[in-house]
Amino acid sequence: MTANTTELIGVYDADSTLLGEISYWVGARLGTANCSLCELTHGLFTKKSEWRKCADSLAVPFRLFHRDDAPGDVLIALAGKFPAVLQQTTNGVSVILTKEELERFDGRTSDFAEWITEYLSY
């Protein structure tokens, strides 16, 4: 049920600090770090244009956070399971895409954007 969704929230499996960003970037290149949500929203250095277009077209805002800067209620809902996508509704915050579900998109931003758009249309 998405009629009462007021926003979507994505939380990366990475930290927002400069050291965190560099560590993730290097780790991703070496194969020691992986964040399926990062792969869907970001290219090598910046947000993917395909993702920006999707996010701009959604009926509700889609906010992105890192593990270390996400709001408390979001962190509680995630219980340490990163990355994920959640929805904020009039009833609170709940997870709608887990790490495993995000991995199924296999980095295909267009498939992720289509899923999000369809999810919000229900």
Find the mean pLDDT for residues 70-78: 97
User: Which of the four pLDDT bands, split at 50, 70 and 90, describes residue 109?
Assistant: very high
pLDDT score of 64 more than 80: yes
Go through 70-104 and write b for each residue having 16 or more CB atoms within 10 A of its CB, e for each that does not: beeebbebbeeebbbbbbbeeeebebbbbbeebbe
Q: How do residues 78-108 score in pLDDT, each as one tens digit? A: 999 999 999 999 999 999 999 999 999 999 9
Q: How do residues 1-42 score in pLDDT, each as one tens digit? A: 466 899 999 999 988 878 777 787 787 788 777 889 999 998
- pLDDT value of residue 1: 41
pTM, entire model: 0.89
Place of tokens 């007021």: 6
